[in-house]
Chains A and B, each alone.
Chain A
Amino acid sequence: EERITAVHAFNTSLIYTRSFLEFVDKVNERGEGVIEIDVRGGPEVIGLSEQPDAVRNGIVDMAYTAASFYGGTVPERDIMVASNANAIYARESGGIDLLNQIHQDKMGVYYLGWFDSGVSYNLYTVDEPTIGDDGRLSVDGLKLRSNPVYDAFFRDYLGAEPISLPTTDVYAALERNVVNATGWTEIGLADLNWDRFLNYRIEPSFFSTDMGVIINLDSWNALSDEAKAILQEVAIEHERDSALTLAEDAKTQRAEMIDNGMQIVDLQGDVRDQFSESAREATWNRMRGLMERHPMGLEHYDSLVEMFNEL
């Protein structure tokens, strides 16, 4: 039996980690006698920003991580962030295969699958957000907590300079109104207890998560064809399953939030479209800018945009 070691970016209390561990169970079940994934742990084993390098250097064979953590190496990962589709679509369109090829060329890792896709982000606020005369969200009085994923959008579109805070400080910061707005995914807000302070959710949601599994290319090539087949097959299944399950979760959790007093602020008409479009465009611009710095240049830009978006 072949063994590969794995780490995951977040601690086990997050829904995304649990999704990955399900994938591992499926592989270990179906691959019995052929392939086993040995999970070494989460960020307590290797810090989350150090995990991609650990896979590249062969310290571990596999990592389940956000592509954002290696966005400098593979700027094309932004195509997932800005996608308006999900992994099911991108797998069929050949987008993930292309992304896998880019990962192999630029980073020496095999991109096994885009998990938990289609989950998007919302902006949540403590106070009722002000909508200007133009129908746009006003940045006045907004103390916005940031995240590298949506920094570009908040800066370019809203004109807000986001406040960086370590995740452990966010609870206290929201409690004391040091920040009064933050982005987070559609789901999992209650896991962090932040819903205690946040009262408004601005819609539409934007972006998509970019969680996925990378494998050291040498480790991948050393696997038997049978092991490779099982890994890839289960990964494609899990891409589909996780996208569908989380889409369901997003619906139920939205309803739960509303039951618990969260108010939905829906942007209207042109502004609504503009909001989603500028989120995407800010991200594409960033991606283009970074891609140009690499020898590969903009070679795959157009195909990626096409394959990852239902236009």
Chain B
Amino acid sequence: MRIASKAYKALIDLLAIIAGAMLVWLMVAIVLTVALRNLGLQPSAWFFVSTEYAMFYLTLLGAPWLVREKGHVYIELFTATLPKSFLNIHSRAVSLFCVVVCLVLAWKGYDLVMQNLSRNDYDVRAYFVPKWILTIVFPFCFFLMATEFLKFVVGKDILHSGEAGIKE
């Protein structure tokens, strides 16, 4: 059990590290493209396409980590007025709501991947890329987001601080 939970935590970290590497790639790819272009060479269109894909991938791959880090912003006008005991219940209910939303998206994301596979769909840009390679992150990452939100439903810690301005 402990090994499983460690492995799970490492997985979330790993995904965040990949997302961070993609962020750095945005810089590298653009600097290379501009440099090559101004040297009179013809830089591969892959540089450009990869930055567009990287933004999509990094958003989803990093999303579960962001939940764990409580990096999402929310409006605390209402939650700040709740008494501690009630906030505890309310915050867990909101987290549960998030779990449900993520699970629905993970489920439909799975359907989307299956559809892409059975229809043999491509994303058409400068190159033809099989669509499932991109959409596969939907079911995977939304599911992990759901499990991260679930920790705020049943765990010790809750999502909201209840104190306007003293959160994070």
B-binding residues in A (CB < 8 A): 49, 53, 56, 68-73, 139-141, 143, 146, 148, 151, 160-164, 178, 290, 293-294
Q: For A162, what are the chain B residues with a Cβ–Cβ distance below 8 Å? A: 45, 126
Which of A143, A151, A290 contacts B126, CB < 8 Å? Answer: A151
State how many angstroms separate the Cβ of A113 from the closest Cβ of chain B: 22
- Would you list which residues of chain B between 35 and 68 have a CB under 8 Å from chain A? 37, 40, 42-45, 48-49
What is the bound-complex CA distance between A71 and B120, given in angstroms? 11
Whether B126 lies near A72 (C-beta < 8 A) is no
- Interface size (B, Cβ < 8 Å)? 18
Smallest CB gap from A159: residue in B: B42
What is the bound-complex CA distance between A73 and B49, given in angstroms? 20
A–B Cβ pairs within 8 angstroms, 29 of them: A49-B124, A53-B121, A56-B119, A68-B124, A69-B124, A70-B124, A71-B124, A72-B120, A72-B122, A72-B123, A72-B124, A72-B131, A73-B121, A73-B122, A139-B42, A140-B40, A143-B37, A146-B45, A146-B126, A148-B125, A151-B45, A161-B42, A161-B43, A162-B45, A162-B126, A163-B43, A290-B128, A293-B120, A294-B120
What is the bound-complex CA distance between A70 and B48, given in angstroms? 21
A-binding residues in B (CB < 8 A): 37, 40, 42-45, 48-49, 119-126, 128, 131
Q: For B119, what are the chain A residues with a Cβ–Cβ distance below 8 Å? A: 56, 73
Q: For A72, what are the chain B residues with a Cβ–Cβ distance below 8 Å? A: 120-124, 128, 131
What is the bound-complex CA distance between A73 and B120, given in angstroms? 7
Q: For A70, what are the chain B residues with a Cβ–Cβ distance below 8 Å? A: 124
Which of B45, B121, B124, B128 contacts A164, CB < 8 Å? Answer: B45
State how many angstroms separate the Cβ of A194 from the closest Cβ of chain B: 19
What is the bound-complex CA distance between A56 and B112, given in angstroms? 13
Q: For A163, what are the chain B residues with a Cβ–Cβ distance below 8 Å? A: 37, 43, 45, 48
Q: For B128, what are the chain A residues with a Cβ–Cβ distance below 8 Å? A: 71-72, 290
Whether B122 lies near A71 (C-beta < 8 A) is yes
Given the contacts A71-B128, A143-B37, A161 and B44 also touching, CB distance less than 8 Å: yes
What is the bound-complex CA distance between A290 and B119, given in angstroms? 14
Q: For B44, what are the chain A residues with a Cβ–Cβ distance below 8 Å? A: 161
What is the bound-complex CA distance between A160 and B42, given in angstroms? 7
What is the bound-complex CA distance between A163 and B40, given in angstroms? 12
Smallest CB gap from B122: residue in A: A72
Q: For B120, what are the chain A residues with a Cβ–Cβ distance below 8 Å? A: 72-73, 293-294
What is the bound-complex CA distance between A146 and B42, given in angstroms? 12
Q: For B48, what are the chain A residues with a Cβ–Cβ distance below 8 Å? A: 163-164
Smallest CB gap from B45: residue in A: A164
